[in-house]
Structure 1
Amino acid sequence: MNERALLFVWSSVLLASCGGSPPEPAKTTTSASTPPASAPSLAPPARSEPTSGPVAADVPSGASAQRDGVLVSDAERIVAAFTNGQPSLSPDGKKVVFRSNRDGLPQLYLGDPAKPEAPAVRLTKTTERTVRGTFSADGKSVIFLSDRGADENFSIFRIGVDGSGLTELTPGESLHRDAPFVSDGAPDTLVYSARKNEEPTVRVYVQSIKGGAPPKSVYTDSLPGELLAVDRTAKRALLNRYVSSSQTTLGLVDLVTGKAKTIYPAEGKSAVIWAAAFSGDGKTLFVATDAGSEVGTLLALDAASLAERGRFVDASLKTAAIDELAVPRKGDRLAIRLNAGNRSVVRILDAKTLKPVADAKLPLGSGAGLVAGQDGKSFALHWSTPNQPADIFVVQARTGEARTAPKEARPTLAGLGELEATVQTIPSFDGTPLPLNVYKPKGLAAGSKKYPVLVSVHGGPSESSPVRWSNQVRFYTSHGFIVVEPNIRGSTGFGRAYEQADDGPKRMDAVKDIEAVGKWVVSNPWADPARLVLLGGSYGGYMTLMGLAHHPTLWKAGVDLVGVYDWRTLMRTTSGEIRAVFQKEIGPETDSAFLASISPSSRVDSIAVPLFVYAGANDPRVVRAESDQIVRSLRTRKVPVEYMVAENEGHSLDRKETITSFLARSTRFLEDALKLEKQ
């Protein structure tokens, strides 16, 4: 999938860990100056809990609030080491606009690629997060998305590059809008896809970049989907339509007549399309796909006849997904980003032959947001490593040379110490190889001590955990934990069969993978079996609840962020888009018995270890009621649980105050639950 992360991914910025942009505040944060009352207790506070409706969030007090204050200060040090992401190059290549959380809320900033030492200039100064800035064709303004309270009802805005003239271009209907396309051959036109939250259908809209005139819906598809590309005349568009995360079709939409036809794959064939683009002259279509096989493939198709003109398969990373594709208007180069599951690789290809000509010279890590300069001389993306937060890199098309722009220091990281990240593979219960990332403080003496271990499961399910910068990993390791990130079956970047290995009836095999990871962890001399924690967000939150329910003696505590408690209620309350796609990925909503059998709700009485739960009040994907249900159940049975609800968040941790509060509260909760020595 592309950066919009259609399929239920723990989106936005999971603790700003994937290098996109960061955080916002929760009403549950209390002052660190609250005087201590008594020793911290894991026992739930006495309350008369309602049997229906929203469940009350916990408000730390006394010694808990005091400890939170100390930990918030620690977290602020790490979160202050901001991340930069989602770059866009101006038409003349002299500016780059990007998203950054340096001021506590994701906003847009401008940099000069020719002057990497020059400080970035803040462009937007709004009270809501911004997403994906794109230059207008003349380079005089930037088009971007923003929503309210992270509810994903994105509206489109325009602002001048001097910060003036902020204008909302879509003030009418409330829709989940995708980032708009601006074509140099039709500079006054915006083209974008959008959908109503409750509907699975996707619509394609055309409207003026100047605002005023209402947008025109030119095409509606019965399937979920999103636009991947628009040609330079704004007359044709490529629409990816989703049956499931492993089955999509690419449609060519005539934006003038409103007619569409399927161009890939051929009828009766099954494949997934990750990215697509028009060549600068519009005569070639580039399609990044698995071609229905285990092999990531880039195709060059004749735009008129759809005949294949060329094909690229990476010789060394055959099962990697070609997640992103950047094709400039001019020049003879294009770039692709390969998602190898636990890392990214950027290759530059000859646009005519599709032969590789250079690799982007980037450190071992991961990135995204690959875009091309119009002149074909450079590409840009954001990139991070375990010890370096995400920065914008500009890559030269001829040589692959890469440099940060802007180049910015992170003084708050001084003295934090480096992390050592290793990639390992272990066997699961059935012999299936499970890749995982292990993060330890550098120089950790083997066997010198047993450490608490936090196993962190990614969202998705069709996503992966790459080696990268992560606020979460950096904070927990600085407080005594070793962090392990498994890429269990269902993860992307390891081939089609692996991604489909958890579909439908095979869901419980992924749960068994979690057990295998836990058992492997405790077999290591550096792991303390009495202090093993399971954590995850979104689908990872679901896996956390399933692990605690099905392997209750293995795990000693859990942290669940916006996790699914019951697939039956989730299917009734999530967006129409997700509901439609999950009919195959998870199971048909008509099969209530099956959905119940793979839900944590069916085994909730087995969860007996302390659990920290986080929810965003405005979440349109996993509504707050899912978290309410697990909290209500645990409180009823007197199982230690702490509930944090962020009133100005959705399926997100986007505001600085939310991130620091979550990190502090979850860490203090685990210190008490596991009787840890305070760091």
Structure 2
Amino acid sequence: RDLDGIAQPLTEPVTRNQSPVFAKDGSLLVWSRATKGSADYAIMAADPADPKSRRLVWQGIGAVGPQDISADKATVLLAKGISNRENHLMLLDLASGKVSPLDWSIKARARFEDPRFIDGGKAIVAITNAGTDTRRLVRIDTATGKMTALSREPGWDVEAYDLSPDGKTLAYTLNEDGYSRVVLMPLVGGAGMSPALPRGVVTALSFSPDGGKLAVGLTNATTAGDVWTVELGNQAITRWTQSEPGELDPARLVEPQLVRFTSFDGLTVPAFVYRPKNAAPDAKLPVIIDIHGGPEAQTRPSWNPGAQYFADVLGAVVILPNVRGSDGYGTKYLNLDNGPLREDSVKDIGALIDWAGKQPGMDAKRIAVYGQSYGG
């Protein structure tokens, strides 16, 4: 759609189109197209200003989508999905339509998330769990596959990143026990630093066009979502929005407590506990256990109107566990409920019920368990 409001269709009827990627100057758009009755994807390209320029560049096998376009607009970085644990990277030459698999990505048997070209296409930045239990941000030599770690916090997952327009500064977020921490650091050398943003969960991360500011979307238990900016020069932080609570009284909103309980086999399982704000410390309250879906999702301390409602209106303690198989705690933890081990995640809920029944502020005789999607 042009800024004058006139829409121009770039895609064909009765097709599904996704994963659009623009060249930096906006003159080239590449995306993947699926047609009815086929599980295979095609790679399409067009000049957004000229719908008639749409062309089929490559027809592949499987779920393939573009990730980035080289600065000279000659090469497209593709990712082919194998499973939720593995994908493969490939290079597509736009002139010839030839695809060259990056063999090192196939041998890694890992995920490469949000891969982007740097150093004129000689290297790639990506988030990956290749060779580690948690996801880290790495620089990868395109030709050899040699990986150099950019993030320096091995115990937690890197969840998102952005690269400044001049390619000199990285911003990434760490998922530390469900809470996000933003890190700013030079792409080459130098120490990282974390701006003093409110505690919560980051939902968006983007540099300004001049690279002088970082915009951060942030939500937490008491705000539905706001936009903040960080000045790279003096680290000044500005809040740009005030999310609207409607008829809710912010003073009654609960900040969850992060707890850990021990399951049947000794595994320590994290959970977030919402206790009504005005409840007496010795009051034995009913308990609602809310299990997330996915199954490989993660409950985080973000805006949760359901938990706030149950705590404030029903006067219940709300517990949201991240049972084994949840994301955010490393690949080993993620795999603990695979196949015949699936029932062990249900046993975690049994252990949580036992734990709740022993807490002084919870009523063992009034415990309800429910969930959404797989959690249900």
Alpha carbons of structure 1 residues 411 and 268: separation in structure 2 relative to 1, 3 Å: closer
Deviations 1:289-341 (A, max 9, x none): 112321432221334x34647422433xx232222121132152011122235
- Higher relative contact order (Cα pairs below 8 Å, separated by 6+ residues): 1
- The one of 368, 373, 376 equivalent to 1:533 is 368
What are structure 1's unaligned runs of at least 5 residues? 1-157, 545-679
Match of 1:314 among 141, 148, 152: 152
Distance of 2:304 and 2:111 partners within structure 1: 29
Looking at structure 1, the residues matched to 39 and 162 of structure 2 have their Cα atoms a distance apart, in angstroms, of 28
Q: For residue 350 of structure 1, what is the aligned residue in structure 2?
A: 186
Instruction: Provide the rounded CA distance (Å) in 1 between the counterparts of 2:146 and 2:120.
Output: 17
Among 153, 157, 182, the residue aligned to 2:22? 182
Match of 1:227 in 2: 66
Matched, 1:325 2:325: no
Unaligned 5+ segments in structure 2 are none
Q: Quote the RMSD (CA, aligned, Å).
A: 2.8
Deviation digits for residues 120-166 of structure 1, max 9, x if unmatched?
xxxxxxxxxxxxxxxxxxxxxxxxxxxxxxxxxxxxxx252x7x324
- Larger proportion of strand: 2
Match of 2:78?
239
- TM normalised by structure 2 equals 0.88
Cα separation, 1, equivalents of 2:211 and 2:44 = 28
User: What SS class does the counterpart of residue 192 from structure 1 fall into?
Assistant: strand
Paired residue for 1:362, among 178, 197, 202?
Answer: 197
1:478 paired to 2:312:
yes
Change over 3 Å in CA distance of 1:339–1:224 after alignment to 2: farther
| Paired-residue identity, % | 24
* Cα displacement string for residues 350-384 of structure 1 (whole angstroms, at most 9, x for unaligned residues): 1123x443213221111223233333222323211
Return the alpha-carbon distance in structure 2 between the equivalents of residues 420 and 412 of structure 1.
18
Q: 1:482 to 1:313 in 2, by over 3 A?
A: same
Q: Report the 3-state secondary structure (helix = DSSP H, G, I; strand = E; otherwise coil) of the residue aligned with 1:175.
A: strand
2:38 and 2:369 mapped to 1: Cα distance?
34
Q: CA deviation at 1:400?
A: 4.7
Q: Tell me how far apart the structure 1 counterparts of residues 285 and 103 of structure 2 sit (CA, whole Å).
A: 53
Report the counterpart of residue 402 of structure 1 in structure 2: 237
Measured against aligned partners, the alpha-carbon deviations of 1:91-137 in whole angstroms (never above 9, x if no partner) come to: xxxxxxxxxxxxxxxxxxxxxxxxxxxxxxxxxxxxxxxxxxxxxxx
Name the structure 1 match of 2:214.
379
Q: Matched residues in 1 for 2:168 and 2:78: separation? A: 25
- Distance between the aligned counterparts of 1:172 and 1:412, measured in 2? 44
Distance 1:500 1:262, change over 3 A: farther
Task: Give the counterpart letter for 1:223 in structure 2.
Answer: G
2:290 corresponds to which residue? 456
2:277 to 413, 422, 442: 442
Judged with a 3 Å threshold, the aligned counterparts in structure 2 of structure 1 residues 363 and 276 are, in CA distance, closer, same or farther, namely: same
1:631-650 map, 5 Å: none
Structure 1 residues 376, 257: CA separation in 2 closer, same or farther (over 3 Å shift)? Answer: farther
* Partner secondary structure for residue 238 of structure 1: strand
Q: For the Cα contact (< 8 Å) 2:11–2:17, is it kept in 1?
A: no
Distance 2:64 2:284 in 1: 50
Corresponding residue for 1:510?
345
Matched, 1:170 2:11: yes
SS of residue in 1 equivalent to 2:363:
strand
Letter of the 2:288 partner, please give it.
Answer: L
Show the counterpart of 1:201. 40
**Does 195-204 or 228-237 show the bigger shift?**
195-204
Query: What is the match of residue 296 of structure 1?
Result: 135
Contact 1:393–1:404 under 8 Å retained in 2: yes
Q: Deviations over 1:613-658 (max 9, x none)?
A: xxxxxxxxxxxxxxxxxxxxxxxxxxxxxxxxxxxxxxxxxxxxxx
- Which amino acid in structure 2 is aligned with residue 285 of structure 1? I
Change (3 A) 1:392 1:265: farther
Amino acid in the other structure paired with 1:473: A
- Conserved in 1, the CA contact under 8 Å of 2:204 and 2:218? no
- The partner residue of 1:468 within 302, 309, 324 is 302
CA apart distance, 1:264: 6.5
Taking the aligned partners of 2:234 and 2:35, their CA distance within structure 1 comes to: 44
Check 1:217–1:484 CA distance in 2 against 1; reply closer, same or farther (3 A cut).
farther
**C-alpha contact (below 8 Å) 1:341/1:465 kept by paired residues:** no
Cα distance in 2 between the residues matched to 1:273 and 1:169: 29
What CA distance in whole angstroms lies between the structure 2 residues aligned with 1:372 and 1:264?
32
Q: Which residue of 2 aligns with 1:263?
A: 102
What is residue 614 of structure 1 aligned with on the other side? none
What is the rounded CA distance, in whole Å, between the counterparts of 1:207 and 1:413 in structure 2?
Answer: 47
The separation in 2 between residues aligned to 1:499 and 1:433, in whole angstroms, is 14
Q: Which residue of 2 aligns with 1:598?
A: none
Conserved in 1, the CA contact under 8 Å of 2:86 and 2:111?
A: yes
TM-score normalised per structure 1: 0.51
For 2:333, what is the secondary structure of its paired residue?
helix
Q: Give, in whole Å, the separation in 2 of the partners of 1:508 and 1:415.
A: 39
Q: Distance in 1 between matches of 2:101 and 2:237?
A: 38
Rounded Cα–Cα distance in structure 1 between residues aligned with 2:367 and 2:318: 10
- Change in Cα spacing, 1:464 to 1:287, as seen in structure 2 (3 Å) is same
Instruction: Please give the alpha-carbon distance, in whole angstroms, between the structure 2 residues aligned to 1:415 and 1:289.
Output: 39
Structure 2 vs 1, CA of residues 340 and 286 (structure 1 numbering), >3 Å: closer, same or farther?
same
